[in-house]
Amino acid sequence: MVSHAYQSRLCWILCFVMVFLSGFATSFGGDPPGLRCRGQCKDPQQCNQFCLNNGFKKGGVCLASGANPNFKICCCHS
């Protein structure tokens, strides 16, 4: 009976670790296809203008980054 309790706890720990690591994989996976991400995005209009001013003719968009949907990055269309 004791081993069943440890198995259950181990399963929960492994699940938590896998979910936690998947957030890191998406946040450090590199730029999305067709986009060049430059830094934190606070305002979509500023991001678009920044990209246009730096030679990205299609402008840019703010995208959620990794496990924290409140942290957005500015990505320019390449």
Model confidence at 4, pLDDT cuts 50, 70, 90, reads low
Tally the domains of the chain: 1
- Per residue, the 3-state secondary structure of 42-65, as one string, reads CCHHHHHHHHHHCCCCCCEEEEEE
Question: And the tokens for 63?
Answer: 């995208």
19-66: pLDDT as tens digits: 555 554 444 567 788 999 988 999 999 999 999 999 999 999 999 877
Q: Is 71 helix (H, G, I), strand (E, B) or coil?
A: strand
Which structural domain range is residue 18 located in? 2-77
